[in-house]
């Protein structure tokens, strides 16, 4: 059984879901249905919300909550590479494909990014097109831009 709770954030209402004491989903306002999840604010969800609040204030650069990565081995490898993109930086799908040792898997990396169920914490918003343009984001491109700007404004550059 999973649990879900909802919070208002600077990017709109989000749902935070947990399964087996690990975060399984971050849902944006337009995609809030996990029918099989019970509405309950658990300790893990509260801690995740606390960390997200600090992140939105520019006070947290790395999350420390348990994650339940539900996907193929390739997807989990791509998501791990996303976690390793430094706060305040961006890279391309091609960069991620190279990092995981499969430089021709650019489209597969894009699909793994698309299937990321834990956005923000697994920072798929930090991945941009090879031409430097913002491309696809579950929360919408304005939210992606807002997250990138938030990090750029709070990144330490020395």
Paired with 38 in beta bridges are 3
Residue 124 designated active-site: yes
Catalytic residue among 124, 138, 147, 150: 124
φ and ψ of 141, to 5 deg: -60, -35
Query: Any idea which residues carry the catalytic annotation?
Result: 124
């Amino acid at each position: 059984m999973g649990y879900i709770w909802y919070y208002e954030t600077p990017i709109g209402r989000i749902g935070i879901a947990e399964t087996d004491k690990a975060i399984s989903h971050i849902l944006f306002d337009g995609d809030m249905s996990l029918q099989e999840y019970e509405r309950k604010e658990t300790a893990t969800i509260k801690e995740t919300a606390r960390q997200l609040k600090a992140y939105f204030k520019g006070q947290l650069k790395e999350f420390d909550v348990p994650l339940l990565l539900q996907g193929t081995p390739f997807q989990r490898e791509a998501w791990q590479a996303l976690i390793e993109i430094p706060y305040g930086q961006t890279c391309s799908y091609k960069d991620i494909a190279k990092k995981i040792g499969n430089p021709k898997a650019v489209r597969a990396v894009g699909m793994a990014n698309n299937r990321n169920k834990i956005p923000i914490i697994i920072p798929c918003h930090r991945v941009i097109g090879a031409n430097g343009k913002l491309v696809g984001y579950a929360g919408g491109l304005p939210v992606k831009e807002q997250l990138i700007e938030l990090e750029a404004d709070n990144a330490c550059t020395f």
